[in-house]
Structure 1
Amino acid sequence: MSADTAYHGELGEQFAALATDNVHNAHTDRPAMLRLAGDVTGTRVLDIGCGAGHYGAELLKRGAARFTGIDGSETLLDAARQRLGDDAILHCHDLEQPLTFLADHSFDLAVMALVYHHVAARGQLLAEIRRVLRPGGRLLVSTTHPTGDWIHFGGSIRSDTRSPGIARTSWPSRSVAPDRRRDPRNADAPRTGDRDTIFLRSGKIWAKTLRRPDHEV
């Protein structure tokens, strides 16, 4: 998502308001991602595509030591400043470009919520996130169902030919068996099986934790 295609002006204001209490963001995506985040006490958090600061507000409330947000829209960053005050470091930046203003190994946790499918330079962005995470740090990702890329770009999920924008990654993560999928909206659901992935019953979003290796090979 380049700065040119970010949510600016009236569109940004509408999105900031809707994301506060809509089904897609507030009641589907954020509960799943925050469950994956677990205890964030004392962590340094980077939010890629931070929008109006909804994740920042919740993570700081849960004890994060430092919150840094990046977004391509000044409209959304203005909303984030109003929500977070002086408790956050916010940058206006085009996510199609490297994160050169961030130091190596400077974060414990990175959050990328419903942003990945908007980015064209996905490999570059993932490499940059890996660079700024400390060894053993985590990246939380939520995105639309993978078939959405084929719907948008064409092709088929059964084809060996990958459509433009479908990125391969080498991040270590555990897979989840179909019978271990659980609905994050059910707070009483048993925490069994793989806790690195949450599939939502809507079939439209999945959320996943990726961990940077403690030691490079």
Structure 2
Amino acid sequence: MNKSINLNALALMNMGLVNAPVIGELPPIENSGQRVVVAKNGVFIQFVGNWLEVIKRVGNISASVPYGSIEEKIDLRFKKFPREMFTQFHEQAKASFPNEAFAYIHWNRETNQICLVPGVVLKATGDEISYGRVDIEDGWQCIGDIHSHPNSIAFYSELDNDDDKTGVKCSFVMGLDSEKAMNSLRGRFCVFGTYTEMDASYT
């Protein structure tokens, strides 16, 4: 019994549960974290981090519950990803062609800078790539990744979906044609197995 109580308490500590207030704002998440929010207009996941805040609808409610309503939200702290990041990765993708290329996206909390850190490639083909972890320098954190699809347009495969289904991150795919030119670019925010496609305002 005690073990069950401890596991339940741990689950709530990791992913809290609150209802949307009828009057006023949602109580803030201190520092960072995530929780489920039950509202009149659905069930939502809320994530608050130092680089991103997201409120994402993950389900509907058919019953009439005495709660307030909330709206979906995406607040990227640095507003958009720099064009130079994609130019740099395009060069990496061309060098790896006709195999896929991969890089981590790191963000500096103090300077608000973005940099690419190529992953340690373990195996690469034209259809998939496996890679190892890299060290993260002080003041930086990994917020996502980008990989290429040579001889293809940018799209998210089932393998990509599987890679992106846990935690919170940003994910980009760059498509290259047979002449190594970038023919498409897609990005999305991944929040605990849910995906929100980025529009052009983020790139």
Shorter chain as normaliser: what TM range?
Answer: under 0.3
Identify the structure with the greater helix proportion. Answer: 1
- TM-score (ref. length: structure 2): 0.28
Identify the structure with the greater strand proportion. Answer: 2
